[in-house]
Amino acid sequence: AEEVEIPSRDWSFDGLFGTFDRAKQQRGLQVYREVCAACHGLRLVSFRNLADLGYNEEEIRTIAADYQVEDGPDGDGEMFMRDGSASDRFPPPFANENAARAANGGAYPPDLSLITKARADGSNYLYHLLTGYQDPPADVEMMDGMYYNAYFPGHQIAMAPPLMEGVVDYADGTPATVSQMAEDVTYFLTWAAEPHMEARKIMGMKVILFLLIFTGLLYAVKRKIWADLH
């Protein structure tokens, strides 16, 4: 497939001082839960991690309890289902890859935990993939069960357009346009792939600052020690 140019958008998490945006991440969580989670897992994220998005313990327990997770074996050696708790991870939508493919016309919806890292320029790619569905150009013959997408490599993707205007009802009243939901879920999944990004960037600045001061100090000490020798 030919290379597709991915346009860049402005993200609050870009750059040396980039930070996340909790309102957008919370809306993105809602999009993931109500839309993407029907087909895509998020197996590396635990409910307790949602504290990063500003939820308190009570809210996290409520979210977790919406899910059924597999546990066991019990005393009889049987696996069983129970309500999710804060220490559980998001349960997968399908039992295994074969079941996932069977439900999706043979295509495999990848786990989204690390998707913004697994694809080049992942955050920009994800946003444009979600907003990039179009009518195929006249000279393109579409394969069965495929949808034309301007940004998917090869342009034919087995994922039907997942976002339709108004498909979620945002708790904070933000209008749920396709672009808004795509942006919000990109914020959420960028955090999921690198939850410690803010701490990493702050640490980076501290290290550089320390090295600058330390360099100045060493230079001053060097001048003092060798002062008698010119």
The nearer residue to ligand HEM, 15 or 145, going by C-beta atoms, is: 145
Q: Which range touches ligand HEM (CB under 6 A), out of 15-23, 47-55, 124-132, 192-200?
A: 124-132
**What residues contact residue 97 under an 8 Å CB cut-off, 6+ apart?**
108
**192 interacts with ligand HEM by CB under 6 A:** no
Between residue 7 and residue 46, which ones bind ligand HEM under the rule CB under 6 A?
A: 31, 35-36, 38-40
SS3 category, 160: coil
The nearer residue to ligand HEM, 79 or 120, going by C-beta atoms, is: 120
Task: Give the Cα separation of 163 and 127 in Å (integer).
Answer: 11
**What residues contact residue 12 under an 8 Å CB cut-off, 6+ apart?**
18, 19, 20, 21, 24, 187
**104 interacts with ligand HEM by CB under 6 A:** yes
- Residue 70's beta-bridge partner residues? 81
Task: Give the Cα separation of 171 and 184 in Å (integer).
Answer: 13
The nearer residue to ligand HEM, 4 or 86, going by C-beta atoms, is: 4
The single-letter DSSP state of residue 141 is P
Between residue 39 and residue 98, which ones bind ligand HEM under the rule CB under 6 A?
A: 39-40
**Is the backbone peptide bond immediately before 73 cis, with ω within 30 degrees of 0?**
yes
Q: Using CB under 6 A, pick the residue from 6, 159, 168, 176 that binds ligand HEM.
A: 159
Where do contacts with ligand HEM occur on this chain (CB under 6 A)?
Answer: 31, 35-36, 38-40, 104, 107-110, 115, 119, 126, 129-130, 157-159, 162-163, 185
